[in-house]
Amino acid sequence: MRQGAVAGWFVLVILTSESCTDRERAVSEADGGARVIDAGIGPTPRNGGQTGSVDASVDLHFLLITALLEMERTLVARCPCLTADGQYESESECRGAVNLGRNWVDCASQLDLSQQDEPEIRENLRCNISELSLRTECLTGSACSDVAVAMCMTQSLGCQVLPFELLSEVVSECKIALSR
C-alpha cells in the first residue's frame, strides 16, 4: 500500500500540470486570492528566497535534479496529512517513504542529455519548478481535507506537462527509489 501510494503521488505530481502560457498569473486560492504569483518572477527553489527566474544558462542536469527534488518536497508536504490519515505511523516514517534518496544525483549529473537539451525543455522545467514550489507552499500547513489537497494540487502557473520521457530516463538510469 505505502509503496503504491508513494509512486501514485509521484505520478500525480508529474501529471497535474496544465497547458497554457508560462506567463499566466495564478492566484492562490489557499489564502483567499490575496497572493498573486507570476511564473516568470516568483521565488525559485534553492536561491535563498530571492525572486527571479532560474538563469537561462543553467545546465539541463541542474534543472532536472531541481525538478525532482521539488517533487520530493511536494510529497514531504503531504506527510502530516498522510500520517493523520493513518497511512503512516509517524511523519518521520512518511518522510522516509517519500524520500527519493540522494544516490541518484551524481548519476543524473553524468547522463548524456544532449539529445533532449532544447530551450523549450529548459523553460518547461523552470516553469514546473516554480509551479511545484507553489503547490508545496500551499500543501504546507493546509487542511487535510480532500478539497484542500485538491485545491493545492491543481494550482497552476500554466506550465506545459513535465517532459515525462526525460524524467523517466533519469528515474530509470539512476534507479531513483520511488517505492521506498
Section 15-44 average pLDDT: 34
On whether the CB atoms of residues 149 and 139 are closer than 8 A, the answer is: yes
Q: What is the pLDDT of residues 49-108, one digit of tens each?
A: 333 444 445 689 999 999 999 999 999 999 999 999 999 999 999 999 988 888 888 898
Report the length, in residues, of the chain. 180
Question: What's the rounded Cα separation, in Å, for the pair 108 and 92?
Answer: 26
Question: What's the rounded Cα separation, in Å, for the pair 174 and 171?
Answer: 6
Q: What is the pLDDT of residues 127-176, one digit of tens each?
A: 999 999 999 999 998 999 999 999 999 988 999 998 888 888 888 888 88
On whether the CB atoms of residues 170 and 104 are closer than 8 A, the answer is: yes
What is this structure's pTM? 0.67
